[in-house]
Every structure is written in structure tokens, then in C-alpha cells.
């Protein structure tokens, strides 16, 4: 009991001394100024982005300042005339532990200052965000306190070992600068104090921490135990210095116990962290792939959702549409879900996990055009891979290749989003939408939060609702979360719990664009919409009357630019939802940052160009991945761009932006190769010029109506040759874009 009392009084004394230290007040002043500067420079962003910016800046710049305040508190014991050990007869470990406790209390309370300053600036900008300030404070404390604790521990440990204030401050500053420059760790990793998780941390307006929880929780706990273990080891080691005399045996045991607990915590949390990281990176792809090998003639799925888990039983009738016999069946299935049992043609079969797929061994080879009946049971908690929602970036801003697929599955205890084509439901590898002529889904969903759903209710109790989807399934099956519901002109809007006024404005813009587009194509249109914010989704999703709102936080110089940007997203999503387009599954990925270097033209005018990327190895998808390439369809992108021009003009009443865009595409259509060239862009530009020269607005509408009638979703996709045959029926025939002869890729 005496030891605890001594610790308490030592901590109180250290708190008083720290509050008298001018360096501590300079630390507070710098923190307040830094937070205000970050707020003023990023106020155009959402508060969720703002809290991450504040966290990263404060945690980086405060490190040397912490050393300036902490190191003198420890190194003062070198002077025998001012030595607390001799003046108070305190045992040295008790003295240091008491001091550390006092400093921890002071700086933890000081960590509230950035949050206070942030709250002040947010309320000046948008008073409606006051209701969400408690959540922002919770996020801020979760991020700031553990890393601040680790930085304090590093400074305190250096001071214990080196006992020289100038040396400690120099070492901490050098460490901070090396981390910033990427010299100490060239690639930002989850282990750096200014770490990869916090650098690219994604707070979602619907799910909050959501998919980040497993990695972040284990990482921050690792920081806490690493710091605590290091401090106890430093105290134990420095207390062996002869000038301070022998420590009492009980205090030695206390220090040893602290070191043991710290080491055990380090190993446990690091193991949990590595487990979470392993689950969040893209696994090795299957050695063999069956892309568009199996045609789904019928599919039946029956399942239920319970918390973060989903259980399903699926039955398929599959036809081998390839030219060769197949010995195995490969089905896509989320890495968090496990196959329990499988039968093929009533025979129990063996199976194994292969990356993001399941390989099922067929009891006998399936001949070309042969049919098999497959029944499987599977369950688990779907995992959202980090590559799909938070692109890995190095401290040096390197751009490794992207293997990002659209987010179509998310499930935790409070939030659920299930897309028709999501990997939460087993399906053969296909570049087409997951549709079959005869398809039924029955799903039991808990009854506790607002839900946007496209299915019909077939059963209902006090705790759950059972829904059914039949035949041609819409893209968005369900989205449920603690939504804020708002009615706008008869349309229902489901906003995330951390949404702001900007989110509502964006929803209204998207609704207006969707309604204008539907009435443009079908003048008798009179449908009401449900707009729902989707977790982690980056682009608009159109699903009949349900519109999926993206979690997007882009800056626009003016309102017209914002409307035009959303017009491009809406038209693209609308075309994807109404017309069958060719897709492609590739394992090449995409270069996020690339440039094209061209040689001088030869005597015929030809140039040889090579596209290179300065990027490095993708730590989140180290083995590559199968990704869908539908978004690189030049014809689809061109029709979407022209429709977006027309929509933006109708909504804004101005053609200034469309004229600027036209000039940009006109330059590309002339094959003017730039440093950031792409063959897809040149082809898209050529189609845009063809549409602009040949079709007026009414003819463009008629063309789209014909495409909707001849190529509905689920039918064989339209090809460029088929499109040209249709386009030749117009008075001004659409000519295919001429290839850029000067663009020859190595």
C-alpha cells in the first residue's frame, strides 16, 4: 500500500512540475496552431476526412515536442544536488514509474486540445455537425491516445538510457524525420508510428471504422504494449546504475512483472495484428481459372443473416459452355466464408479453398455442353479486402499496380450490403452479371435497422423478416444500417449515421440527375426512388428504383463542376444497369500512376511508345488478382460522357463545362500523345467525336432506346460491330473511330 501511495504522490508532483514547464505550454500552443491550420486547409472535406488529417499531422509533429518536455524530467536526476532519490529517499524505479504516470496523465489530457480546436472550426462551418461531435471525439481519441503513448514511451526510454536531454531530442527528431522521408522505412508499413493504417485510414459514413476494426485494434494495442514494455525495461535497466544504489527486492519484482506483462502483450497483439493483416490482403489467385466456362441455367439460394455471419445453401444447374471437358468446378466465394459440404449430381465431393475461389472436384468429367447439378452449403463472415477500399500508398507516394474490384459485399453486426454480383454468394467465374433464366434467392434478415431492399416479404416475425427475389435480379438486393432517413420530394433518402449536409446535397443532385435521365429516355416515367448510402462503395450504383450513393469526398471548384462529375457517374451506372455490355476478367491489374514515353516519329510519322509505372510491389495484393475490366469499355464510356454532357446542360442551364470537356476530348481524338496517354482514352475520344458529329439529342435518345430493347441485362452483350450495324440506320451514320496509328505499344 505504501508503494502505491508513493506512486500517487510522485505522479501528482510530476503533474505540477510539468504544468510549470514553459515547454509544455509551447507544446499546447503549437498543437492549437497546427490543428487550426489543418482545419482551415481541409474544411472543404468531410469531418471524417478532417479527423484523419488532424491525427496524422498532430502525431507526426508532436513527437520531438514530447521529447523536449519529457527528457528533462528524467535527465534531471544526474545532478546530485537536485536528486529526488537522495532528497526524498524514494526507490529509483518507484520514482520513474510515478513520473511516467504523471506525464501520461498530463499528455492524455492535452490530447483533448486538437479535438476541442476541431470542434470549434467544425461548428463555425456547419452547426448541424454538433450531433456527430461525440463520434468524432471517440474516433480522435482512439487514434491519438495509443500513438501518443508510444511516442511518450520512446522519449522516456531514450532519456532513461542516455540521460542527456540534447541527445534524446536529437535522436527523436532524427527518427521522426527519417520516418517522414521514408529513409528509415522506404515503404509505409503498419508498424511505423506514422503508419500505413493511419496514413490511408478510411472512415466510412455508414460503417464508421467498419472494415478497419480488426487491423486497427490489434495495431494500437500493440503500440500500447510495445511502449509499456519498453518503458519498464528502461526503468529496470537504468535502475542498475551504481550511483543510484540498490532497488528494493519488491520493486525489482514489480518492474520484472511489468516487463513480463509488456512482452506477453507485445507477442499476443502482434500475432493478432499479423492475423488481421493476412486476412485483409488479397490471397494468391487459383492456379487455374474457369472464366465464362459454366453457364448458369438455374440457381436457388436460401440463407439467413445473423450479426456479421451469413449462412447459405445454394443449388445450381450448370452447363459446360466451353469446348473441353472439365474435371473441376471453380466458384467465387468470399475469403471469410467457408464451404461446409458439396454434392455434384447427388455425389458427395471433395473441395478446397483457392484464393478467392473454391475448387470442387467433379465425380466425373463434364463434357462440352454437359450439365451438372451442384448443391453446396457455406457460412462465415465476409471479409472486405483492403485493396478494394483503401489503396496502399508509400510514404514516397509510389503507385503500385491496382487490383481493385468494386465493393459489392459488406457485413458486420450493424451494417449489411449485398449486391447481386457480390462474392457473398457462390457463383462460377463470369465476366457477365450474375443472372440466370431461373433464379430465386430467399434470405432471412434481422429486424432492427432501417432497410432499403428490392425483394418482397414472404414471412415476418418480431425478430426477422424473410425476403424473396425472383427471376431477373436487381443489382442492389439489400442495404441496412443505422441510417438517417429523409424524404425529398416523395423520394426516400437513407444517409449514413456520420453523414453531413454535403452528403444530403449530393444525394439530391444524384436523384435529380437520375430522374432527368429516366424522363429523357422514357417521357412517361413516373417512378419514385430510394437513394441509399452504401458502405465503402466509390461510385454510383443504379438498381431500378434504388440508387446506391457512393462514399465520395471530392473537391469541386464550383457547383456546376460537382453536378457534371455526378452526371458522369449517374449515366455510366444507368447504362450498366439497363444494357448488356461486354466484360473482361484479367489478372494484369491497372497502373495507378503511369506515363508514356514516345520516341521521335520516323519518316512515315509512326512513333513507338512505352507505358511505364514508377510504382512498386503492391503489399495489399502481392500475388496479383483477377479483376473485372468492364470500366475500360471505350464505347460504353463514350455514350456515358455524351449523355452526361446533355444532363449537365439541362440541370445547370449552362454549356460552359461541356464545351471545355469537348475540347479536351477533341484533342485526344487527334491522337496527340501526352505523358499520360492510354489507348482506351484515344478510342473513347474517337467515339465521342463520332457521336457529337452524327447525332443530335433526340437521335441519341432513340439509339439508347434501341440498345435497351435489343440488349437487356442478362442477354448476350453488345459488340462494337453490332453497335455499328444499328448506328448505320440513322441519317448521319456513325463512323467508327480511326485508330491512332502513331500509338504503338511495346
DSSP letter for each residue of 362-375: EEEEE-TT-EEEEE
pLDDT at 65: 93
Residue that wins the pLDDT comparison between 287 and 300? 300
pLDDT at 236: 83
Average pLDDT over residues 401-412: 90
The 10 Å Cβ neighbour count of residue 690 is: 22
Backbone angles phi, psi at 4, to 5 degrees: -65, -35
Q: Minimal CA–CA distance to 498: which of 249, 57, 134?
A: 134
Name the least confident of 105-114, 353-362, 673-682.
673-682
pLDDT over 90 (residue 274) = no
pLDDT at 360: 95
Q: What is the DSSP string of 289-309?
A: --TT-EEEEEEEEEEEEETTE
Name the least confident of 256-265, 469-478, 653-662.
653-662
pLDDT at 472: 85
Average pLDDT over residues 519-543: 90
Name the least confident of 82-91, 375-384, 732-741.
82-91
pLDDT at 90: 61
pLDDT band, very low/low/confident/very high, at 246 (cuts 50, 70, 90):
very low
Name the helix (H) or strand (E) containing 597: strand 595-598
pLDDT tens-digit map of 186-234: 444 444 444 445 666 788 999 999 998 888 898 899 999 999 999 998 8
pLDDT at 546: 95
Q: Which three cell numbers stand for residue 57?
A: 499531422
Name the least confident of 45-54, 262-271, 589-598.
589-598
pLDDT at 500: 81
Q: Which three cell numbers stand for residue 362?
A: 467433379
Q: Which three cell numbers stand for residue 22?
A: 514553459
pLDDT at 196: 47
pLDDT band, very low/low/confident/very high, at 690 (cuts 50, 70, 90):
confident
Name the least confident of 395-409, 545-559, 664-678.
664-678
pLDDT at 603: 64
pLDDT band, very low/low/confident/very high, at 732 (cuts 50, 70, 90):
low
Q: In what order do the strands lie in the sheet with 451-453?
A: 409-411, 416-419, 476-480, 451-453
Domain boundaries, the chain: 2-279, 294-482, 499-746
pLDDT tens-digit map of 462-509: 899 999 999 889 999 999 999 999 988 889 999 999 888 888 888 999
pLDDT at 194: 41
Task: Please state, for a pLDDT cut of 90, what percent of the chain lies above it.
Answer: 44
Average pLDDT over residues 719-742: 72
Average pLDDT over residues 309-334: 95
CA distance 197 to 175: 19
Q: Minimal CA–CA distance to 97: which of 193, 197, 222, 238?
A: 238
pLDDT tens-digit map of 602-630: 666 566 666 666 566 777 888 888 888 76
CA distance 359 to 381: 20
Per this entry, what is the length of the chain? 746
pLDDT over 90 (residue 511) = yes
Average pLDDT of the residues of the chain: 84
Is residue 320 within 8 Å of residue 293, measured between CB atoms? yes
pLDDT at 631: 63
CATH architecture classification, 294-482 = Sandwich (2.60)
pLDDT at 730: 67
pLDDT at 597: 61
pLDDT over 60 (residue 181) = yes
The model carries a pTM of 0.88
Out of 358-372, 500-514, 647-661, give the one with best mean pLDDT. 358-372
CATH architecture classification, 499-746 = Orthogonal Bundle (1.10)
Residue that wins the pLDDT comparison between 26 and 666? 26
pLDDT at 87: 47
Amino acid at each position: 500500500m505504501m508503494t502505491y501511495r508513493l506512486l500517487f504522490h510522485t505522479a501528482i508532483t510530476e503533474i505540477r512540475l510539468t504544468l510549470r514547464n514553459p515547454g509544455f505550454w509551447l507544446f499546447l500552443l503549437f498543437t492549437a496552431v497546427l490543428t487550426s491550420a489543418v482545419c482551415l486547409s481541409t474544411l472543404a472535406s468531410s469531418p471524417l476526412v478532417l479527423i484523419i488529417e488532424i491525427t496524422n499531422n498532430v502525431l507526426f509533429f508532436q513527437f520531438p515536442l514530447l521529447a523536449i518536455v519529457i527528457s528533462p524530467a528524467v535527465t534531471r536526476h544526474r545532478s546530485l544536488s537536485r536528486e529526488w532519490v537522495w532528497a526524498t529517499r524514494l526507490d529509483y524505479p518507484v520514482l520513474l514509474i510515478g513520473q511516467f504516470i504523471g506525464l501520461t496523465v498530463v499528455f492524455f489530457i492535452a490530447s483533448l486540445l486538437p479535438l476541442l480546436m476541431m470542434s470549434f472550426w467544425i461548428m463555425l462551418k456547419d452547426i448541424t455537425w454538433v450531433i456527430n461531435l461525440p463520434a468524432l471525439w471517440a474516433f480522435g481519441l482512439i487514434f491519438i491516445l495509443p500513438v501518443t503513448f508510444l511516442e511518450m514511451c520512446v522519449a522516456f526510454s531514450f532519456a532513461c538510457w542516455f540521460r542527456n536531454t540534447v541527445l534524446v531530442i536529437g535522436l527523436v527528431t532524427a527518427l521522426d524525420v527519417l520516418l517522414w522521408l521514408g529513409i528509415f522505412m522506404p515503404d509505409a508499413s503498419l508498424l511505423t508510428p506514422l503508419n500505413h493504417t493511419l496514413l490511408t485510414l478510411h472512415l466510412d459514413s455508414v460503417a464508421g471504422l467498419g472494415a478497419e476494426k480488426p487491423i486497427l485494434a490489434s495495431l494500437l494495442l500493440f503500440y500500447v504494449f510495445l511502449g509499456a514494455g519498453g518503458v519498464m525495461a528502461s526503468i529496470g535497466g537504468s535502475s542498475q546504475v551504481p550511483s543510484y544504489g540498490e532497488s528494493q527486492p519488491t520493486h525489482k519484482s514489480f518492474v520484472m512483472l511489468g516487463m513480463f506483462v509488456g512482452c506477453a502483450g507485445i507477442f499476443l497483439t502482434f500475432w493478432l495484428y499479423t492475423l488481421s493483416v493476412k486476412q485483409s490482403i488479397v490471397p494468391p489467385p487459383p492456379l487455374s481459372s474457369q472464366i465464362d466456362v459454366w453457364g448458369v441455367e438455374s440457381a436457388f439460394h436460401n440463407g439467413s443473416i445473423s450479426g456479421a455471419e451469413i449462412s447459405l445453401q445454394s443449388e445450381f444447374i450448370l452447363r459446360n459452355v466451353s469446348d473441353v471437358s472439365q474435371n473441376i468446378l471453380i466458384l467465387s466465394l468470399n475469403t471469410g466464408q467457408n464451404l461446409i459440404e458439396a454434392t455434384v449430381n447427388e455425389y458427395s465431393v471433395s473441395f478446397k479453398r483457392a484464393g478467392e475461389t473454391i475448387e470442387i472436384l467433379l465425380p466425373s468429367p463434364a463434357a462440352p455442353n454437359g450439365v451438372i447439378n451442384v448443391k453446396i452449403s457455406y457460412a462465415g463472415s465476409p471479409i472486405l479486402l483492403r485493396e478494394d477500399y483503401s489503396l496502399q500508398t508509400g510514404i514516397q507516394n509510389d503507385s503500385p499496380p491496382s487490383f481493385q474490384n468494386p465493393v459489392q459485399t459488406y457485413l458486420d453486426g450493424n451494417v449489411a450490403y449485398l449486391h447481386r454480383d457480390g462474392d457473398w454468394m457462390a457463383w462460377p467465374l463470369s465476366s457477365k452479371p450474375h443472372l440466370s433464366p431461373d433464379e430465386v434467392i430467399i434470405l432471412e434478415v434481422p429486424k432492427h435497422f432501417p432497410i432499403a431492399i428490392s425483394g418482397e416479404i414472404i414471412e415476418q416475425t418480431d425478430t426477422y423478416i424473410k425476403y424473396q427475389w425472383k427471376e431477373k435480379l436487381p443489382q442492389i438486393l439489400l442495404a441496412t444500417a443505422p441510417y438517417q432517413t429523409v424524404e425529398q420530394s416523395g423520394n426516400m433518402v437513407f444517409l449514413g449515421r456520420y453523414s453531413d449536409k454535403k452528403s444530403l446535397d449530393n444525394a439530391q443532385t444524384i436523384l435529380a440527375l437520375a430522374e432527368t435521365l429516366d424522363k429523357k429516355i422514357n417521357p412517361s416515367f413516373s417512378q419514385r426512388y430510394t437513394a441509399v448510402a452504401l458502405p465503402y462503395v466509390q461510385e454510383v450504383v443504379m438498381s431500378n428504383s434504388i440508387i446506391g450513393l457512393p462514399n465520395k469526398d471530392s473537391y469541386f471548384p464550383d457547383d456546376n463542376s460537382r453536378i457534371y462529375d455526378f452526371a458522369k457517374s449517374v449515366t455510366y451506372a444507368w447504362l450498366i444497369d439497363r444494357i448488356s455490355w461486354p466484360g473482361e476478367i484479367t489478372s494484369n491489374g491497372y497502373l495507378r500512376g503511369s506515363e508514356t514515353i514516345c520516341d521521335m516519329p520516323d519518316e512515315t510519322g509512326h512513333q513507338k511508345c512505352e507505358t511505364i509505372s514508377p510504382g512498386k510491389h503492391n503489399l495489399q495484393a502481392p500475388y496479383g488478382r483477377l479483376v473485372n475490366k468492364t470500366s475500360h469499355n471505350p464505347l460504353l464510356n463514350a455514350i456515358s460522357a455524351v449523355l452526361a454532357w446533355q444532363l449537365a446542360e439541362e440541370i445547370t442551364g449552362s454549356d460552359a463545362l461541356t464545351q471545355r470537356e469537348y475540347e479536351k476530348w477533341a484533342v485526344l481524338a487527334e491522337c496527340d500523345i501526352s505523358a499520360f496517354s492510354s489507348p482506351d482514352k484515344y478510342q473513347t475520344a474517337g467515339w465521342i467525336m463520332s457521336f457529337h458529329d452524327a447525332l443530335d439529342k433526340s437521335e441519341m435518345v432513340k439509339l439508347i432506346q434501341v440498345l435497351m430493347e435489343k440488349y437487356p441485362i442478362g442477354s448476350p452483350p453488345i459488340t462494337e460491330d453490332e453497335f455499328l450495324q444499328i448506328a448505320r440506320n440513322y441519317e448521319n451514320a456513325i463512323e467508327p473511330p480511326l485508330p491512332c496509328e502513331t500509338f504503338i505499344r511495346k
